[in-house]
Amino acid sequence: MEVFEITKQNGHFLGKQPDKLYIEIKSESDIMSARQTARETAKSLGFSTFNQSRIITLISELARNIFKYAGSGHIAMEVVKDQNGCLGLKIQAVDCGPGIMNVNRALEQGYSTSGSLGAGLPAVKRMADEFSIQTGEGKGTCVNITKWLN
């Protein structure tokens, strides 16, 4: 899967920003594809190895939640710039599942409705530079995160 081309010269981004990249999540193999795409994208943007690992973990947790709780959905990745020209990677995870009944509880470390460790969503919030979630019972879930290239 080709993500997009990014040209860098002397640490500066050259060329136009790509459109959003969508990865459909409907199987375990899609989670692996999303991880690989995240790895390639983060590396091509110049994220440190440490932050590449964080981005891969973020994508993995979000994709796994889509598959586990909703059955299907998608991950979108987009290169963004802030007002100072700093590059970042905006990630959006969307599903049409049952939604999250209690977002505050779901963001507590150790809370789970499925018998898991309850570490996923709290870790996503902790590792992201920006985090927001929109959900409602029976309305699906949309998680938006941004990781900035520092």
* Residue-wise pLDDT tens digits, 63-82: 999 999 999 999 999 999 99
- Report the alpha-carbon distance of residue 103 to residue 85 in Å, rounded: 33
Return all residues near 11 (Cβ < 8 A) that are at least 6 apart.
46
Q: Which carries the bigger pLDDT value, residue 22 or residue 114?
A: 22
Q: Residue 143 sits in a domain of what CATH number?
A: 3.30.565.10
In this prediction, residue 120 carries a pLDDT of 75
Tell me which amino acid residue 8 is: K
User: Do 120 and 61 touch, CB atoms closer than 8 A?
Assistant: yes
Q: How many domains is the chain built from?
A: 1
pTM of the predicted protein model: 0.81
Domain extent at residue 102: 20-148
| Helices and strands (H, E) in the chain, number of each type | 4, 7
- Report the alpha-carbon distance of residue 75 to residue 22 in Å, rounded: 6
- Report the alpha-carbon distance of residue 47 to residue 26 in Å, rounded: 28
Task: Record the tokens describing residue 49, joined without a space.
Answer: 């190895």
Q: Is residue 2 part of a domain?
A: no
In this prediction, residue 65 carries a pLDDT of 92
Return all residues near 124 (Cβ < 8 A) that are at least 6 apart.
58, 61, 62, 131, 143, 145
Q: Is residue 104 part of a domain?
A: yes
Tell me which amino acid residue 109 is: Q
Q: Is residue 12 part of a domain?
A: no
Q: Is residue 14 part of a domain?
A: no
Q: Is residue 140 part of a domain?
A: yes
Alpha-helix residue ranges (DSSP H) falling in 19-137: 28-45, 49-65, 103-106, 120-127
Q: How many CA atoms lie within 13 A of 19 on its CB side?
A: 3
Task: Record the tokens describing residue 30, joined without a space.
Answer: 């899609």
Q: Is residue 31 part of a domain?
A: yes
Average the pLDDT over 9-34 and give the result: 72
